[in-house]
Amino acid sequence: MKNYKSIILFGIVTNLLLLFSTSLSAQKKNIVMLFADDAGYHDFGFQGSKTFKTPNIDQLASEGMVFNEAYTTAAVCGPSRAGLLTGIYQQRYGIEENNVPGYMSESSKLLGDEMGLPLHLKTVADYLHPLGYQSIILGKWHLGDADKYHPLSRGFDEFYGFRGGARSFFAMNQKEAFERPENRLEKGFGNFEEPEKYLTDEIADEACDFIDRNQKKPFFMYVSFNAVHSPLESKKSDLDQFEGLIGKRKQLAAMTLAMDRACGMILDKLKELGLEENTLIVFANDNGGPDGTSTCNYPLSGCKSNFLEGGIRVPCIMKLPNVIKPGSEYTKAVSMLDMLPTFVNAAAGNASEIKGLDGVDLLPYVTGKNMAAPHEMLFWKKENRGVVRQGDWKLLRFPDRPAELYNIAKDITESNNLAYKHPEKVREMYKLLWEWEGGLERPLWQLKRIYEVNAMKRIDEKRTPVLDK
């Protein structure tokens, strides 16, 4: 009789544990981060473009929430990725500029391959791994070329991409690979093999393969496209879709179409395997569109490399079925810093236990459980330039001219400088910026002075928003 009761009890306990395990597994959302490179704020259908074709990303926007005021932590690629993956202002650990060999000041603390994400820092993949996640990065890394900075040493289980900041969308020749070895295409660690297809298409194929192989367990996929960063290279079949465009604008449209197609393949794969309902999907961009590739940041002024809205405000979509209302908008300011805590909590982790984060979990805000603004203030800094946004107010500090003050809610184009009308507000915000800067590390590397001078020139040249043609 005792054995019979023991068998029954064992069966009950086993079933309860199974139910608990199944429930816990259901809480762990798959996470897909689709991250564009150097895209223009306006260069998507859901952002208002009438000339670029982005049907898949537009569909994602209709199924999820569009953020009207989403910000990156930097106006250039590398630092913004550091902030995204750590959830910490990258200036706190000394990253303010891209780690591009040959462009750095010789007085920099680190140079060459040594310029990378400090090893004591954890990435979102590091936090997701103990929660049972399989993680992959596809595409651009740009956080250190040396082996010690490799994605597989920074929490990721798989890597298909390149360590540097920009490369051809087609197979590189031997000369190109020799001159810029950090931009060779790599699968895993040290397995270098150039793509057989257009790289954006290859990334989509690898992403779909990863989903196929990991559909039975929770996964994190960071799709770090190098599209639509230069060089402007596209397939003829994509170019043929834009007869009314010419020059760089046509190339950019074709590259954007290829990236949209890649996003569509990934989204379709999730639907095909029945994973869509349990997947958190985010689409965003690393910084504002640059001035040299004919991107359009309308209605924002500014561009990549400066702190006007066109340099730091980016398109952003978030979709989570049965949690986030389809076709909705969020109008308060959010940051790419918020992705890490949002992802950790979506993975049934507890981001509040992670010390030092500057980001917040967005889900309570976007679902209406928390009606406050996610951030009272947001900050930016590079060299002597600094910015603080407090509510609707934005202060910009420059090395070569007086500070500027704007009410972003009333003046999205930053054309009405209110600094002289509100000197007390300038003083107040200057103090906030100064106090924040007091807790930052000195930059680990800095650009040669001429490049900072050129960045200042672009601030003046890109003051007037221009609609795409």
**Is residue 354 in some structural domain?**
yes
Structure confidence by residue, pLDDT tens digits, 356-378: 999 999 999 999 999 999 999 99
Q: What is the CATH number of the domain that holds 411?
A: 3.30.1120.10
Give me the CATH number covering residue 293.
3.40.720.10
Indicate whether 467 belongs to any domain.
Answer: no
Residue-level pLDDT at 458: 85
The DSSP-derived string for 53-72 is: --HHHHHHHHHSEEESSEE-
The residue among 67, 60, 58 whose CA lies nearest residue 314 is: 67
Question: 258 and 111, same structural domain?
Answer: yes
Where residue 4 falls among pLDDT bands split at 50, 70, 90? low
Mean pLDDT computed over every residue of the chain: 94
Residue 287 lies in a domain: yes
Question: Are 45 and 140 part of one and the same domain?
Answer: yes
pLDDT at 445 > cutoff 50: yes
The pLDDT, as a whole number, for residue 301 is 96
Three-point CA angle 98, 104, 110, nearest 5°:
85
How many whole angstroms from its chain centre is CA 7? 53
Is the pLDDT at 15 greater than 60, yes or no? no
* Domain identity same for 352 and 403: no
Q: Which of 256-260, 336-340, 435-439, 450-454 has the lowest mean pLDDT?
A: 450-454
Q: State residue 66's pLDDT score.
A: 98
Q: Per the domain annotation, does 143 fall within a domain? A: yes
Categorize the per-residue pLDDT at 102 as very low, low, confident or very high, splitting at 50, 70 and 90.
Answer: confident
SS3 140: strand
318 and 396 inside one domain: no
Answer yes or no: is 390 within a domain.
Answer: yes
Confidence label for 12 from pLDDT (cuts 50, 70 and 90): low
Give yes or no: residues 330 and 192 share one domain.
yes
Are 384 and 349 in the same domain? no
Mean pLDDT, rounded, for 198-208: 98
Can you tell me which residue has the tokens 């395997």? 273
Residue 404 lies in a domain: yes
Could you give the number of structural domains in the chain? 2
CB 115 within 8 A of CB 82: no
What is the amino acid identity at position 279? T
Query: What is the average pLDDT across 243-270?
Result: 97
Q: Which whole number is the average pLDDT over 335-347?
A: 98
Give the model's pLDDT for residue 60.
Answer: 98
Q: Is residue 22 part of a domain?
A: no
**What pLDDT score was predicted for residue 14?**
45
With respect to residue 89, please indicate whether it lies within any of the assigned structural domains: yes
- The pLDDT, as a whole number, for residue 37 is 98
What span, in angstroms and rounded, lies between the C-alpha atoms of 2 and 6? 6
Count CA within 13 A, CB hemisphere, residue 313: 26
Report the alpha-carbon distance of residue 294 to residue 151 in Å, rounded: 32
Q: What does the DSSP 8-state code read for residue 317?
A: E
Per-residue pLDDT, 353:
97
**Which whole number is the average pLDDT over 407-434?**
98
Q: Among 352, 376, 400, which residue terminates a domain? A: 376
Are 72 and 191 found together in one domain? yes
Instruction: Give the rounded percent of residues in the chain with a pLDDT score beyond 70.
Output: 94
Does residue 190 carry a pLDDT above 50?
yes
Q: How far apart are CA 259 and CA 201, in angstroms?
A: 8
Whether residue 2 has pLDDT greater than 90: no
Domain that holds residue 181: 29-376
Q: Quick check: 82 and 94 in contact, CB under 8 A? A: no
Q: Which of 146-150, 299-303, 445-449 shows the lowest per-residue confidence on average (mean pLDDT)?
A: 445-449
pLDDT digits (tens, 9 = 90+) for 312-338: 999 999 999 999 999 999 999 999 999
Indicate whether 75 and 141 sit together in one domain. yes
| Separation between Cα atoms, residue 290 and residue 246, nearest integer Å | 18
What's the pLDDT tens digit per position in 154-165? Answer: 999 999 999 999
Contact 56, 65 (CB under 8 A): no
| CA atoms of 336 and 356, how far apart (whole Å) | 15
Q: Does residue 98 sit in the same domain as residue 169?
A: yes
Of 350, 376, 402, which marks where a domain is finished? Answer: 376
Dihedral angle sign, alpha carbons of residues 95, 97, 98, 101 = negative
Res. 218: pLDDT tops 60: yes
> How far is Cα 289 from Cα 310, in angstroms, rounded to an integer?
7
Same domain assignment for residues 389 and 353: no
DSSP 8-state assignment for residue 192: B
Q: How confident is the model at residue 455 (pLDDT cuts 50, 70, 90)?
A: confident
Report field, pTM of the whole predicted structure over 0.75: yes
Counted residue by residue, the chain has a size of 469
Last residue of a domain, one of 359, 376, 393: 376
Strand 316-319 to strand 65-67: parallel, antiparallel, or no bridges (unpaired)? antiparallel
Is residue 212 domain-shared with residue 345, that is, in the same domain?
Answer: yes
Q: What percent of the chain has pLDDT over 90?
A: 87
C-alpha Rg value of the chain to the nearest Å: 23
- Note the pLDDT of residue 464: 87
8 Å CB contact between 340 and 350: no
Same domain, 232 and 350: yes
